[in-house]
Structure 1
Amino acid sequence: MESPRATSGSRRARRRARPPRRGLLYVSLATVAVVGATAAGTVYVKAHAGDNTVSSAASPAPSSSAPASGEASVEPVARPAVDRDAVLSSALGKVTVPSGAEVSAAVLDLDSGDSAVHGDSAFDTASIVKVDILATLLLQAQDAGRHLTATEKAYATKMIENSDNTSASRLWEVIGKAAGLDAANKRFGLTSTEGGDGALWGLTQTTAADQLTLLQQVFGDDSKLSEASRAYIQGLMKTVEPDQRWGVSAAADGSRYALKNGWLARSTTGLWDVNSIGRVTVGGTEYLVAVLSKGTVSQAGGVSLVEAAAKAAVGSFTESTQSSESSESAPASASQ
C-alpha cells in the first residue's frame, strides 16, 4: 500500500509529464513567401512545414483593365461602301470623246463580283455579235444533245479568229437568225439586245450591260453553257489574228486577254461603230470588260477611244481597290 505522500508525489510527477493540450489540427508554417503575382492580382504562395511543402495558387480574377503587356488595341475599320458606277463614270469623264461620238462601258471583277456600268444607250454590235452567235449555236447544240459538225466548227473558227463575215452569215442562218439569237439571249439573261433584221446580224442592237452579261455566260461558272462550250469559245477568243488584238486588251497585263472586236462604217452617215469585249487580267485579277462606241469619223479614232475607255474602266477598279486597302491598313484609333 502506497503512502499518501508517495501517491501525491507520483500524481504531481504524472501531471508534470503530461504533454500540453493542443488543437486537433496542428500546422507549423516555418516560412511563407509570395513568389509570383499576375497583373490581375493572382498570388502564388509557397509554405514550408517541416519536411512537407505545400503550394497553392489563387484563381485568376477577371480584369476589365487594359492588357498588362501595354500593347495598343486596334479597333477594326469597316471598308467604306464604293459607288462603282459613280467611280466608273468619273474615270470615263476624263477620257477625251470626239465631238459627236459616244462611248459606254461595263466592267466586272471576277474575284470580288463587283461590277459597274456607264451609259445605257443602244449600240450596233458590228462583229462582237459573233460571240453571241456562237454561244447561241452551242446552246442549241446542247439542247439537241449533239456536238458541232466539222463544218460548223470551221465556220466558228473563222468567224471568231478572223472575223470572217461569210462564216458569220452561215451560222446566223443555222441558229434561226434574230429569232434564234433572241431566244437564246433571253435564257442568257440579256434584256436589251435585239437581233438585226433579216441577214443584217451586224446591226443587232445591244448595251454595254448586256454585253457584260453575255461575257459572264462565256467566262463565268454560273452559265447556261456547259464547261466544254465555254472553253471552246474562250479558246477562240484567245487566238484572234494579230491585227485584231486591239481594244480591251489595252488594259491587260501583256498578252493575258481573250477578246472579240467589232467595227463598222455606217453607210448612212459614214461614221464608225467600234466595239470591244473580252476578259483581261490585271495585277492577278481577272476582269470582264465591254466597251461600245459610235460616231467617230474613222476606225482608228474609234479604236483609240475604245482603248482609252477600257484602260480608264479597269483602272477605276484597280485604283479604288488599292485606295480601299490602304485605308483599311490604317487603324482608326488605338488605346493603351
Structure 2
Amino acid sequence: MVPGGRVGRAVGLAALAVALLAVVACDPPKPPPSPPTYACRADPFGGWFPQYIDGYGAAVHHVTAAVYDDRTGCWYHLRRGQRVSTASVVKIEVMAATLLRAQDQGRPLTRSEGDRIGAMIRTSDNAATTSLWRDLGGVRAMQSYGDRLGLTQTDETEPYWGLTSTTAEDQAVFVERLMQGGVPLDHDRRGLAWLYLRDIRADQRWGVRAGVPAGWEVGHKNGFAGSACCGWRVNSVGYVADPAGGGYSIAVLSDGWASMEQGIPMVETVARQVAASLTP
C-alpha cells in the first residue's frame, strides 16, 4: 500500500466514470462462450512447477494461488487453503461494497465516492480507503457486505483493514462473480468496477498481468505492505479477459518478504505460468 499521490488524474477519471454510468452502459468483460469450446487446459501448477518455485522460497513465503477459467469451468490451485492477509487487494471489496450501497439506495455513485474509489484503486490511496471503509460502517458493515458479495473465507478487520485475512480461492471466486455475475450488482455497476480495475497507475502494473499477450484485457489490484506480524505481503488479484469472451480470475498471495521488490518476481513467475497455460 502506498500513500496517495498523483491523484489528479485518478480524480478526473473517477468523475468521468461516474458521468458515464449516468448516461451509458458500462460493460463488464464479455461472457464466456456457451457451451465451452474446449476442455480443461494443462494444470499450470502441476508437475515440476511447485518444486521449482519452492527452490526460490515459495513455501517459506506462503505463496498460494487460485485460478478459475470460466471458459471451461476448471479450477487450478497452488497451496490451496493457505491464509494470507490481503494488504491492498481488500480495496476491491471496498469498491464493490460502495457500489452495492449506492445500488441499494437507488442512486449512482456520488462525486465524492467516485473520486475516492478512483484514488483507492488507481493509486492505492490508503486515506481514501479508510474514508470509504468508515462511511460504509466499519468492520461489522464490511463483514455484512462481504457476506452479500460471496466472500466466505475472508475475515475483515480494523483499524488495520490491510490485515484482513483471506484465501486465494475466495478472492478468485469473488473477482469472477464481480466480473461475470453472481454478486448482487447490476450489469452497469459491474462494468464500472471493470473500468476502475483496468485504470491502474503505470508503476503498479505488475502482478497477475505478467505474461498476458497483447489483445487481452486485464483488470487487477495489487497489495503490498510491510507488517510486524508477517513481513511484506505481496499480492495480486484480478481478471484476465479473453478477446473471444470470458477469461480467468486469478489471485496470487504471499507474505514474509523482506521487501516488495523481493516478492514481485515470485508473484509474476506464478502469473506467467498461468498465462502460458491459459492464454494461447
Whole-angstrom distance in 1 between the partners of 2:103 and 2:133: 17
> Which sections of structure 2, spanning at least 5 residues, go unmatched?
1-38
Deviation at residue 196 of structure 1 after TM alignment: 1.3
SS in 2 for 1:98: coil
1:85-108 per-residue CA deviation (whole Å, 9 max, x = no partner) reads x76354344324327312010111
Contact map agreement 1:110 1:287 (CA 8 A) in 2: yes
1:208-266 per-residue CA deviation (whole Å, 9 max, x = no partner) reads 01101110222113331111111111111111100000000103113731111010111
Contact map agreement 1:253 1:281 (CA 8 A) in 2: no
The one-letter code sitting in structure 2 at the alignment partner of 1:228 is D
Look up the match of 2:93.
132
Whole-angstrom distance in 2 between the partners of 1:156 and 1:209: 24
Whole-angstrom distance in 2 between the partners of 1:282 and 1:145: 32
1:138-159 per-residue CA deviation (whole Å, 9 max, x = no partner) reads 1122122222211111101000
Whole-angstrom distance in 1 between the partners of 2:176 and 2:138: 22
Answering whether residue 139 of structure 2 is matched by residue 178 of structure 1, we say yes
Answering whether residue 245 of structure 2 is matched by residue 288 of structure 1, we say no
Q: 1:192 aligns with which of 153, 169, 181?
A: 153
Look up the match of 2:104.
143
- RMSD of the TM alignment (CA)? 2.4
Structure 1 residues 165 and 104: alpha-carbon distance in aligned structure 2, compared to 1, 3 A threshold: same
Answering whether residue 200 of structure 2 is matched by residue 240 of structure 1, we say yes
Structure 1 residues 188 and 92: alpha-carbon distance in aligned structure 2, compared to 1, 3 A threshold: farther
Look up the match of 2:5.
none
Look up the match of 1:155.
116
- The structure that is strand-richer by fraction is 1
Whole-angstrom distance in 2 between the partners of 1:206 and 1:278: 15
The one-letter code sitting in structure 2 at the alignment partner of 1:153 is G
With a CA cutoff of 8 Å and minimum separation of 6, indicate the structure with the bigger relative contact order. 2
Max Rg structure: 1
Look up the match of 1:28.
none
Q: 2:52 aligns with which of 67, 89, 94?
A: 94
1:31-58 per-residue CA deviation (whole Å, 9 max, x = no partner) reads xxxxxxxxxxxxxxxxxxxxxxxxxxxx
The one-letter code sitting in structure 2 at the alignment partner of 1:312 is Q
Look up the match of 1:166.
127
The one-letter code sitting in structure 2 at the alignment partner of 1:94 is Y
Whole-angstrom distance in 2 between the partners of 1:282 and 1:228: 20
Whole-angstrom distance in 1 between the partners of 2:217 and 2:41: 28
Contact map agreement 2:89 2:237 (CA 8 A) in 1: yes
Q: 1:215 aligns with which of 166, 171, 175?
A: 175
Q: Percent identity?
A: 32
Look up the match of 2:27.
none
Whole-angstrom distance in 2 between the partners of 1:252 and 1:209: 21
Look up the match of 2:190.
230
SS in 2 for 1:258: strand
SS in 2 for 1:116: strand
Contact map agreement 2:62 2:82 (CA 8 A) in 1: no
> Which sections of structure 1, spanning at least 5 residues, go unmatched?
1-80, 320-336
Whole-angstrom distance in 2 between the partners of 1:102 and 1:313: 18
Contact map agreement 2:148 2:183 (CA 8 A) in 1: no
